[in-house]
Amino acid sequence: MEFFSQYVIPPTRGQLELLRYLLVLTYAIHLPFVGMVIGATLLSLAFNARDRDIANPTFARMSKDLMDMVLPNRVVVLVFGVLPLPALWMIYGQWLSKSTVSMFTLLPIGALVVALSFVPLMAYRSSLDPAGRNSQVNFGLGGIGLATLLLGMYILIGAVVRFQDPERWHLAHDGFRWLLSFNVIWKFGHLLLSGLAITGCGILFFFFNWSGREPIRDAKYAQFMKNFGASVLLATVILIPVIGFFYLITTPTIALSGAVYVLAAATLVILFLVFLLAYGAILSPRPRFGARAFILVLAVFLLTGVGDQLTLVNATQEHSAALLTEADEIKAQIELEREAHRAASQVVDVARGEEVFKTVCMTCHRMDERLVGPPLKTVLPKYAGNVDGLISFIQKPEKVNPEYPPMPAPGLPLADIKSVAAYLLGEVDDAGTSTESPQH
Binding region for ligand HEC (CB under 6 A): 360-361, 363-365, 372-374, 379, 393-394, 399-401, 404-408, 410, 420, 424
Nearest distance from C-beta of residue 395 to ligand HEC, angstroms? 10
Quick one: how far is CA 297 from the chain centroid? 23
Nearest distance from C-beta of residue 413 to ligand HEC, angstroms? 11
- In angstroms, the CA 253 to CA 125 distance is 43
Residue closer to ligand HEC, measured from CB, 68 or 355: 355
C-alpha distance from residue 299 to each of 207, 226, 274 (Å): 20, 22, 11
- In angstroms, the CA 252 to CA 248 distance is 8
Nearest distance from C-beta of residue 358 to ligand HEC, angstroms? 10
Residue closer to ligand HEC, measured from CB, 23 or 421: 421
Q: Which residues of 204-219 are buried (b: 16+ CB within 10 A; e: fewer)?
A: bbbbbbeeeeeebeee
Residue closer to ligand HEC, measured from CB, 346 or 401: 401
Residue closer to ligand HEC, measured from CB, 56 or 392: 392
Which alpha helices (DSSP H) does 219-289 contain, by range?
219-250, 258-283
Nearest distance from C-beta of residue 379 to ligand HEC, angstroms? 4
Residue closer to ligand HEC, measured from CB, 129 or 388: 388
CA proximity to 35, closest of 248, 200, 183, 170: 200
- In angstroms, the CA 36 to CA 320 distance is 34
Q: Are 2 and 102 in contact (CB under 8 A)?
A: yes
Q: Are 198 and 35 in contact (CB under 8 A)?
A: yes
Nearest distance from C-beta of residue 347 to ligand HEC, angstroms? 18
Nearest distance from C-beta of residue 349 to ligand HEC, angstroms? 14
Residue closer to ligand HEC, measured from CB, 252 or 397: 397
CA proximity to 296, closest of 262, 267, 330: 267
- In angstroms, the CA 37 to CA 394 distance is 73
Q: Are 384 and 375 in contact (CB under 8 A)?
A: no
Residue closer to ligand HEC, measured from CB, 317 or 386: 386
Nearest distance from C-beta of residue 433 to ligand HEC, angstroms? 20
In the chain, how many H helices and how many E strands? 17, 0
Nearest distance from C-beta of residue 343 to ligand HEC, angstroms? 23
Nearest distance from C-beta of residue 408 to ligand HEC, angstroms? 5
Residue closer to ligand HEC, measured from CB, 220 or 399: 399
- In angstroms, the CA 106 to CA 117 distance is 16
Residue closer to ligand HEC, measured from CB, 72 or 405: 405
- In angstroms, the CA 374 to CA 379 distance is 7
C-alpha distance from residue 218 to each of 51, 55, 61, 221, 354 (Å): 19, 19, 12, 5, 95
